[in-house]
């Protein structure tokens, strides 16, 4: 459990400012907490201090008390949640990974918990799913495990979205959410 902190110093960092990350960042900021967002390229999100690119990664992490990972899985983001990343956070920070298991170096998380650099983690995704019964995460009381359910697919909304995109394509209009194969998402 995190110790109480003054709201103005309880910085939350959101890795990934896509649709989900920007939504999470705005929702957390609505509670009056300082929020930082990180993305590969420059983005503006009202009320959020934004950082972009490798050159700004350490500045983004510096002093963050809760790190929320919502990055896409690409070759550039594999193993991003590692000992070096954890060392840049505020001592006693908390990790939430609801993106991809491939982002997390599992041994580094256990080491950061053992040293006190991190006090706890909530993990919704893992390198191997389902998480094997003998995995050390099951025995670590500072890790909360959820069953890969951070985002539910709502059938009616999904069908309406697909139908709307098909109609837009029929009319020759551009559609959102197109995968950029060069970026990997």
DSSP 4-54: P--GGG--EEEE--SHHHHHHHHHHHTTT--EEEEESS----TT-EEEESG
Class of residue 47 by CB neighbours under 10 A (exposed 0-12, middle 13-18, buried 19+): exposed
* Residue 100 burial by Cβ neighbours in a 10 Å radius (0-12, 13-18, 19+): buried
Q: Say what the pLDDT of residue 151 is.
A: 66
User: pLDDT digits over 103-145, tens only?
Assistant: 999 999 999 999 999 999 999 999 999 999 999 999 999 999 9
pLDDT bin (cut points 50, 70, 90) of residue 2 is: low
The mean pLDDT of the chain is 92
Which residue is catalytic, options 36, 40, 100, 103? 100
Strands 66-69 and 12-15: parallel
Catalytically annotated residue among 23, 73, 142, 148: 148
Q: Say how far apart CA 73 and CA 183 lie, in whole Å.
A: 10
Domains of the chain, first to last: 7-151 (3.40.50.720), 153-185 (no CATH)
- Give residue-wise pLDDT tens across range 21-35: 999 999 999 999 999
Positive or negative torsion for Cα 80, 48, 12, 14: negative
- The Cα–Cα gap between 71 and 96 comes to 12
Q: Is 148 a catalytic residue?
A: yes
For residue range 70-108, what is the model confidence (pLDDT) as tens digits? 999 999 999 999 999 999 999 999 999 999 999 999 999
Cβ–Cβ < 8 Å for 112, 106: no
């Amino acid at each position: 459990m995190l110790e109480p902190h003054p709201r103005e110093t309880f910085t939350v960092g959101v890795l990934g400012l896509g649709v989900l990350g920007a939504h999470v960042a705005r929702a957390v900021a609505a509670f009056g907490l300082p929020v930082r967002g990180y993305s590969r390229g420059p983005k503006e999100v009202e009320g959020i201090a934004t950082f972009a690119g490798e050159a700004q990664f350490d500045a983004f992490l510096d002093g963050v008390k809760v790190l929320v990972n919502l990055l896409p899985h690409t070759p550039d983001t594999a193993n991003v949640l590692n000992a070096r990343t954890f060392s840049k956070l505020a001592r006693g920070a908390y990790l939430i990974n609801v993106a991809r298991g491939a982002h997390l170096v599992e041994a580094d998380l256990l080491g950061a918990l053992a040293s006190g650099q991190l006090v706890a983690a909530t993990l919704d995704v893992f390198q191997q799913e389902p998480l094997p019964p003998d995995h050390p995460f099951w025995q670590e009381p500072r890790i909360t495990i959820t069953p890969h359910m951070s985002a539910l697919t709502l059938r009616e909304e999904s069908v309406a979205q697909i139908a709307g995109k098909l109609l837009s394509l029929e009319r020759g209009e551009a559609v959102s959410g197109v995968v950029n194969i060069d970026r990997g998402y």
